[in-house]
Structure 1
Amino acid sequence: MMKKRQEIVRDIGEDLVNIDMNDVFDQLDKYHMDSPSMEATNQLIQSIKPVFIQERARINQGQRFRDVIVNTRQDNGIPVILQLIVSQMTLMSRGFVTLTITFFIVSLLLASIFERNLPRVLVIASPLLGLLTLFYEYRAQIYKVEEMEATCRYSPVQVATARMLIVLSYNVMLCTAATVIIQSSYNVVIWNLMLNWLSPLLLMLGVALFTSLKLGITSGCTMAGALWICQVTLIDGDSFLHLLLPNLTSVVINLISMLLGIGLLIFSLRIWKPEERLV
Structure 2
Amino acid sequence: MKSTIKRTLLLLGIHVLIIFGHSYLLANGETREACIKGEPLYDIVHDWAAHGIWPFSAFQSIDHASIILILTITFIVVLFFHPQRQLLFRRFLILHSTMSVIRAIFIWVTTLPSPTALCYDRYIDSSEVLGRSIALTFGAIGIPYEWYEIGIPGMTCCDSIISGHTAMLLVLSLLLTAAIKNSGVRIGIWALAILGMLGLITVEWHYTIDVFAAALIGILFYKWYTLKATVKAGWLIKYLEGDLRTESENGVKSYSLKNLIKTTNNEE
TM superposition score normalised by structure 2: 0.26
User: Of Structure 1 and Structure 2, which has the larger fraction of its residues in helix?
Assistant: 1
Please identify the structure whose Cα radius of gyration is greater.
1
